[in-house]
Structure 1
Amino acid sequence: MTRTVLFATDLSAENRAAFARALRLAHADGAQLDIIHVLDPYLPRRVFHQVEAAVVDDIAATLKDVREDYALEEPQTLIQTVAGAPYVEIIREAHERQADLVVVGMHRKRGQKDLLAGTTLMRIIRSAPCPVVVASQPPTQPWESILVPVDFSLTARHSLREALQRFPDASLTLLHAWSLPGERELGSHPYYSQWRDHEVARLRERLAQEIDSLMSELAGVPDVELVLEHGPPCEVLNAYIKRHTPDLVVIGSRDQPHHASQMTDMLLSEPHCDVMLCRA
């Protein structure tokens, strides 16, 4: 069965990087690239078909331009329009096409966390049946440096599995944010310092065992580096991204129906790299 990468375009200039990334991913995976645009269902009937034809022509022209700009091969491609609410139709198409991956462009409300909740992007992330790539960086090359925040949750294990299976040639860094009780009150006490160092070493060993266990189930996995840093998860992740500028962050999505996680909000409100969200 042919794999499918579903790219949802809003025809904007900001979507161009995501268009090119979808092309690169589909070609690398030997997948078909299905490109869809959701039309306003309330367009007057007499102009609907004209608009539809114009949209398909525009997508085809952009496809040609992007391929030439980034010197990309063209995978098997299907261009199609649908009418309805954008997030509903994109999710429905992902289900019906049994998509392996959905690719979308970054939203336009950068730096405004409070405005993310009701966007099409957040609704797709919460309901898509497969991982969602939110692309904003020029795809001049395949992702080589990939960052995966990890803890002991099943969600983190699932996102790590996705990264290991999908990107066997990349360099993966697994980042864990740690904190221990009593640091503020007892942090300078020598006995506390010894206990803290022992606990962090024990934590590293447990994480390494978890990772080794998962990697033993898979074939052809890449080399990984485990990094432990002290602090709250969002702060640790944000600081690490700014220092090391990875190509991609892969995280598990544990969002509630109407509330995104703090980590998801942070990554999408001020994007420094592409993001792949994996629903557990």
Structure 2
Amino acid sequence: MPRTVPSTVSSTGPSTILFATDLSADNRAAFARALRLAYAQGVQLDVLHVLDPFLPRRALLDVESAVVEDITTVLTDLREDYALEAPKTLIQTVTGSPHVEIIREAHERKAELIVLGMHRKRGQKDLLVGTTLMRVLHSAPCPVIVASYQPTQPWQHILVPIDFSLTARHTLKEALIRFPDATLTLLHAWTLPGEHELGSQAYYAHWREHELQRLREQLTNEVDSLMRELDGVPDVELVLEQGAPCDVLQAYMKRHSPDLVMIGSRGQPHHVSQLTEMLLCEPHCDLMLCRAW
């Protein structure tokens, strides 16, 4: 089925942000975030809705018209709510499987970001499996933002869980380049062997302090090395906390309420990390998932 608006973006055309909507009220915050990002970055906003291909053709034409009208109305309302000029915008409908068409459009338009709304089945991780959201996260060719909070302002406090992996390094680089005005906190969860058995011993405590200092120096060197590759990036705060990554991240978020958490995907098809699963089930803030490289 042809798109509602013909494409004007070529392979060498302007950058785009792709916002995929299911037209639900829950998607309004994500729509507003996509609009704000496109406006702030001076790029085109492509708004996509995937229609059921099994609808009768006459009904499909009526639904398509109603969808475009609804998206246009919401776009106007959001511009007025946030007093924003409209970025260059393309509204389109396609038929097919939602996650396949979202990924296809991201490839065809060389989208630099995909923005989705948070899945409605919060707190029920078993129900996330097989959803459009999870399938897009698995297969997206670019970073994916899952937004569920009204964007009253740009993200100001961004939390990036890090380790020594290539994935973490790439995610940090994305954060530094995309959000140079935000405050970045790098969070590393650490554990040491023998803590349970020897944690009360004086010699072990001395060894632990030495190891933590060595860990901090190594992480600092990693961050400094990356920042030297970039120009005009802000200083970042490095926080080391003891415990399992999920526990440390959850506790830190409850204490400090970041606006956005950025994590890297390990690039494993049909697999989601425990961190990602936790953030989707208990969304204390928006989430951005980056490719491993």
TM-score bracket, normalised by the shorter chain, equals over 0.9
Matched with 1:157 is 169
Contact 1:229–1:236 under 8 Å retained in 2: yes
Contact 2:112–2:142 under 8 Å retained in 1: yes
Distance 2:202 2:137 in 1: 46
Matched, 1:206 2:218: yes
Contact 2:138–2:271 under 8 Å retained in 1: no
Matched with 1:53 is 65
Partner-residue secondary structure (3-state), 1:173: strand
Give identity over the alignment, percent.
74
Contact 1:126–1:279 under 8 Å retained in 2: no
CA root-mean-square deviation: 0.8
Matched with 2:188 is 176
Q: Can you give the 5+ residue segments of structure 1 that lack an aligned partner in the other structure?
A: none
Q: Which amino acid aligns with 2:28?
A: R
How many angstroms does 1:67 deviate by?
Answer: 1.4
**What does 1:185-224 correspond to in 2, within 5 Å?**
185-224=197-236
TM-score, scaled relative to structure 1: 0.99
Distance 1:103 1:147 in 2: 18
Matched with 1:73 is 85
Matched with 1:267 is 279
Contact 1:117–1:258 under 8 Å retained in 2: no
How many angstroms does 1:219 deviate by?
Answer: 1.2
Contact 1:117–1:260 under 8 Å retained in 2: no
Distance 1:59 1:16 in 2: 10
Matched with 2:97 is 85
Q: Which amino acid aligns with 2:185?
A: T
Q: Can you give the 5+ residue segments of structure 2 that lack an aligned partner in the other structure?
A: 1-12
Contact 1:117–1:259 under 8 Å retained in 2: no
Matched, 1:20 2:32: yes
How many angstroms does 1:70 deviate by?
Answer: 2.3
Matched with 2:16 is 4
How many angstroms does 1:117 deviate by?
Answer: 1.7
How many angstroms does 1:72 deviate by?
Answer: 2.4
Partner-residue secondary structure (3-state), 1:235: helix
Q: Which amino acid aligns with 1:262?
A: Q
Which residue, 107, 112, 118 being the options, matches 2:124? 112
Matched, 1:37 2:66: no
